[in-house]
């Protein structure tokens, strides 16, 4: 039984790197006895994995199939030629730069993203190959890729704010009769172009509402589209819900909208050929109603009789 362990340690605890930056780190081998090997290798792997599920594309419900992944980067470096690793702890440093100066335009380094249907992931794999009699040592670690600072735009001069109104008349789904008759009006503004490092900001004012409000929530939605054959399959899913009002808040009082974007689950809005990742923000007002108590748990995106909502597109950008 070999007691050797392998570990990758990156220079940054956050594991966030840009393509043009050197990815520094070390492979740490801990072993009770010395190990002879046929080389220590490090593989850098980046790919876009997509899948298509049933759902909005009703036709292909049965074909839950993986789409061929797009390889962003795939490189193997020999960090150490075959030889022997002494017993104890051995650190083998490495440094890789993803973006090679020769072919800039060839690969596009999408940012790391973990979605429902689309996964953009970068992995480092270290392995120590040994003889027939021995199992090779092997470890994997994910690192996070962010777009190069040099390529980025400066912060948008003025964050684009849109003004929204939510009233009984702006709703496209049926409402409770008391909501229809009593009426309500919620206004506000929201930044719809937003830097990933900043919160989504805005404000909201409940001007009138005859029916007491139960809750106001901000949903961040992602829209993942995948080119599947000659069709584009689009799936919308919920990323994060943030409540901004709990209960029947005072009228005419400005409530701030402040939503921190979750890492990994969001990335810059991406429109690539074979796939696209877009975001939306939905402001959902739920009113107090006996009906809502009966069905407490439900998908917040489903329009309900006691809810009013407004969905706005959200462009996420990486800024300097």
Partner 1 sequence: MEFRPRNYKQEKESHALHRTRVDDHPLCTPSTSHRQVVGEHHTENFFDPLRGPNTNVGEAFHNLPDEERTSGGFCTERDNQHTRDWNSFKRLLMQRFPISKMISISSISDGIMKSNKVDEISSTSSRLEELDDPQKSAKEGNASITRQEYVFRLNDFKEKIVQAWHSEDRVTALKFTIKVARLLMDTSVRQFYPTLFVLATDVMDMLGDMVWERIKQKAEFTVDGNKLCFLAENFDANGVCVDAKETCNNWFYKVGSIEDLLPRVYLELAILPCWRFLLIQPADCLHRLVKMIRGLADPLSSAYCCLYMVHRARKLLSRDTAYLITCMNDMNILLMDALSLKRDVSKTCVEKRRLLISLIEPTIEYIVHHIFEDTPKEQLANALVNLGIGGKGDNKVVSCLSIVAHCYIKELPADMVRSKSKEIINLIECCNDCSLDKSLNYRLLGFRLSETTSPQDMVDVVDHVIQVVLLWGKLDEYLRVMDAFLDLVLQNQMGNHILNVLEGIAMQARDKAFTEEELGSLQSILVKFVSHFEDLEELFALNHYLEILDMMYGRPRSIVNMHILDRAIRKGLWHDPHIIQLLFGISKSLIDEIDQTSMMDYDYQQPARLITRFVSMVDYGSDVERHLAFLVECRGAFGCINELKEALVHSSNSLAIQGLKHSNKQFSFIMSCIAYSEVTIPSISSPMKQSNLYIETAEVALLGGLVSHAEGLTESAVSCLQSLVVNGLPGIADVEGILSSFQKLCSLLVMVPWNKSNIGPSLNYAPKSLFVFTDSQSKLIPRTTTRLFSAIILLSAALSQEILPYNANNFGIPGNDQLFYGDSSYSQELASISQLAVQKLVDVIQWEHSSDARGIMALEACNCIASSFRTSPETSIICVKLLETAKLCLGAHDKYVKSTTKFLETCSLTSPDAEQEGI
Residues that bind partner 1 (CB under 8 A): 13-14, 199, 213, 216-217, 240-250, 253-256, 258-260, 262-263, 290, 293-294
Residue with Cβ nearer partner 1 (127 or 310): 310
Q: How far is CA 129 from the centre of its chain?
A: 35
CB of 241 vs partner 1, minimal distance in Å: 5
* Dihedrals phi, psi of 222, to nearest 5 degrees: -115, 145
What is the distance between the alpha carbons of residues 156 and 150, in angstroms, rounded to a whole number?
15
Cβ count near 3 (within 10 Å): 8
Please state the closest distance from residue 251 (CB atom) to partner 1, in A. Answer: 8
CB of 7 to partner 1, least distance (A): 14
CB of 317 to partner 1, least distance (A): 18
CB nearer partner 1, residue 41 or residue 222? 222
Distance CA 263, CA 152 (A): 18
| Residue whose CB is less far from partner 1, 51 or 266 | 266
**Least separation, in Å, of the C-beta of 210 and partner 1?**
11
- In the complex with partner 1, the residue whose CB is nearer, 82 or 241, is 241
Q: How far is the CB of 238 from partner 1 (least distance, A)?
A: 11
Query: Tokens 């107090």 belong to which residue?
Result: 288
Token duo for residue 316: 């996420």
Of the two residues 181 and 243, which places its CB atom closer to partner 1 in the complex? 243
Beta carbons within 10 angstroms of residue 38's beta carbon:
13
What single string gives the DSSP state of each residue in 300-319? TTS--TTEEEEEEEEEEE-B
CA distance 188 to 207: 10
Q: Which is nearer to partner 1, 135 or 252 (CB)?
A: 252
Beta bridge partners of 80: 40
Q: Could you tell me the end-to-end alpha-carbon distance of the chain, in angstroms, rounded to an integer? A: 50
* Smallest distance from partner 1 to CB 132, Å: 39
Helix (H) or strand (E) holding 294: helix 290-294
Of 38 and 251, the one with the shorter C-beta distance to partner 1 is 251
Minimum distance between the CB of residue 228 and partner 1, rounded to whole angstroms?
31
Short-list 3, 69, 49, 44, CA closest to 127: 44
Nearer to partner 1, 52 or 206 (CB): 206
Alpha helices in the chain (DSSP H): 177-182, 290-294
- What is the chain's Cα-based Rg? 25
Tell me if 159 sits within 8 A of 257, measured CB to CB: no
Indicate the pairing of strand 22-31 with strand 40-52.
unpaired
Nearer to partner 1, 88 or 212 (CB): 212
Cβ distance 226 to 275 under 8 Å? yes
């Amino acid at each position: 039984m070999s007691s050797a362990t392998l570990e990758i340690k990156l220079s940054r605890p956050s594991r966030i790197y840009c393509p043009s930056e050197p990815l520094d780190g070390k492979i740490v081998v801990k072993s009770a006895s010395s190990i002879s090997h046929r080389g220590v290798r490090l593989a850098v792997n980046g790919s876009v994995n997509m899948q298509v599920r049933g759902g909005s594309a009703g036709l292909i419900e049965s074909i839950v199939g993986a789409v061929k992944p797009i390889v962003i980067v795939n490189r193997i470096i020999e960090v150490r030629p075959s030889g022997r690793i002494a017993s104890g702890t051995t650190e083998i440093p490495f440094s890789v730069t993803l973006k090679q100066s020769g072919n800039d335009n060839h690969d596009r380094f999408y940012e790391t993203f973990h979605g429902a249907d689309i996964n953009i992931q970068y992995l480092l794999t270290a392995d120590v190959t040994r003889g027939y009699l021995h199992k090779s040592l092997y470890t994997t670690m994910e690192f996070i890729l962010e777009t190069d600072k040099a390529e980025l735009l400066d912060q948008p001069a003025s964050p684009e704010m849109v003004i929204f109104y939510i009233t009984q008349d702006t709703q496209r789904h049926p409402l409770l009769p008391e909501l229809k008759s009593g009426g309500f009006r919620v206004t506000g503004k929201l930044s719809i172009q937003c830097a990933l490092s900043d919160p989504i900001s805005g404000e909201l004012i409940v001007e009138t509402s005859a029916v007491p409000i139960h809750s106001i929530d901000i949903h961040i939605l992602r829209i993942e589209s995948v080119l599947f054959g000659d069709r584009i399959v689009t799936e919308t899913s919920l990323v994060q819900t943030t409540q901004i009002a709990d209960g029947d808040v005072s009228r005419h009082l400005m409530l701030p909208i402040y939503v921190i974007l979750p890492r990994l689950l969001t990335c810059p809005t991406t429109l690539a050929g074979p796939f696209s990742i877009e975001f939306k923000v939905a402001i959902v007002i739920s009113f107090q109603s006996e009906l809502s108590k009966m069905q407490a748990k439900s998908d917040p995106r489903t329009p309900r009789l006691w809810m009013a909502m407004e969905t706005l597109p959200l462009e996420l950008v990486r800024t300097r």
